[in-house]
């Protein structure tokens, strides 16, 4: 396994991040335990989750599964850099349909962090991420709440997800004024089929030392091979079928190129994200052990300038703004 620093920090994380969104949904708790154990054996030390995963409002099912796995001991918690997120509505029980059970406010940050710690059965979160931008709360409120959590030893680093470039700039300039570290990572949707962040988010992250953690690097599985009818649940979904139909010509050329390279399309698509200078670690979301183990091939593929040029011809990307649209 290869490791790198998380953004401008000294924290070392694996170049693949284990996404856990399927745990408790498409993957049973028992299989999730086996996948996490195997991930550690393979050297993957970076795990990502969120309080809303499991998709039953307020229950935090996926975090609970990870917490039960941590509780098994054997150095599991100590070896993992755990990242989780807040933003979605977690109000249930006596708080059902009440305000202040979501978003990014001082109150919800405090409640959500304590709840995640309890579900994860740990006393600190390595990377605590805002799942979405909340445009109402001022940054001084957000960072003051983060500072308190950090001083209490409940979190180590702050991250974002689905932020625009100017949100990242605003956040880190506000943090700088407070002598606070601010954002060290950003989770963005990024794949060969969605390269928008090359315009501004990627360059902004590089400028501020914010590591990008791409989610959906296989475009919901579509880049893993569709022309021959292969694929899992996501690749057979209505959304995936529409994407496959829209990009049918490009996907056919893509799979032909991968065949010429003697590689699986999923491995090439995942490996390609690692060629981007702003990327720290793409998120892999295996439902099975085979999917987990197969993803490691992406770390070994070498991309020559000719191959990268051929990929760009199939799936054109973006120049850095404003050059892309100014002239």
Please give the positions annotated as active site: 53
Buried b (16+ CB within 10 A) or exposed e, 247-265: beeebebbbebbeebebbb
- Which pair of structure tokens corresponds to residue 196? 């928008």
> Going along the chain, which residue ranges are E strands?
3-5, 12-14, 17-19, 46-48, 81-86, 125-130, 155-161, 183-189, 211-215, 283-284
The string of DSSP letters for 137-204 reads S-HHHHHHHHHHHHHTTSEEEEEEES--HHHHHHHHHHHHHTT---EEEEEEE-BTTB-GGGTTHHHH
């Amino acid at each position: 396994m290869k490791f790198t620093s998380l953004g401008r920090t000294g924290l070392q994380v694996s170049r693949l991040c284990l996404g856990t969104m399927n745990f408790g949904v498409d993957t049973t708790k028992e299989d999730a335990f086996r996948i996490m154990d195997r991930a550690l054996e393979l050297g993957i030390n970076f795990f990502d989750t969120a309080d809303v995963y499991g998709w039953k409002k307020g229950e935090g099912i996926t975090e609970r599964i990870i917490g039960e796995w941590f509780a098994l001991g054997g150095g599991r918690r100590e070896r993992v850099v755990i990242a989780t997120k807040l933003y979605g509505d977690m109000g249930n029980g006596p708080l059902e349909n009440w305000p202040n059970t979501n978003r990014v406010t001082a109150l919800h940050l405090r409640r959500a962090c304590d709840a995640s710690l309890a579900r994860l059965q740990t006393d600190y979160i390595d990377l605590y991420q805002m799942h979405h931008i909340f445009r109402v709360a001022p940054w001084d409120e957000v960072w003051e709440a983060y500072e308190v959590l950090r001083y209490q030893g409940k979190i180590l680093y702050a991250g974002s997800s689905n932020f625009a470039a100017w949100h990242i700039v605003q956040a880190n300039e506000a943090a700088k004024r407070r002598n606070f570290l601010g954002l060290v990572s950003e989770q963005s949707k990024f794949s060969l089929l969605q390269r928008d962040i090359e315009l501004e988010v990627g360059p902004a992250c590089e400028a501020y030392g914010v590591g990008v953690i791409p989610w959906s690097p296989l475009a919901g599985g579509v880049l893993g091979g569709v022309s021959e009818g292969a694929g899992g649940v996501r690749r057979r979904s209505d959304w995936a079928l529409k994407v496959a139909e829209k990009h049918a010509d490009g996907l056919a050329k893509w799979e032909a190129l991968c065949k010429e390279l003697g590689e699986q399309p999923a491995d090439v698509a995942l490996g390609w994200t690692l060629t981007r200078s702003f990327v720290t670690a793409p998120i892999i979301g295996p439902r099975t052990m085979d999917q987990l183990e197969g993803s490691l091939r992406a770390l070994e593929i070498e991309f020559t300038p000719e191959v990268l040029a051929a990929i760009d011809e199939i799936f054109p990307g973006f120049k850095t703004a404003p050059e892309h649209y100014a002239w």
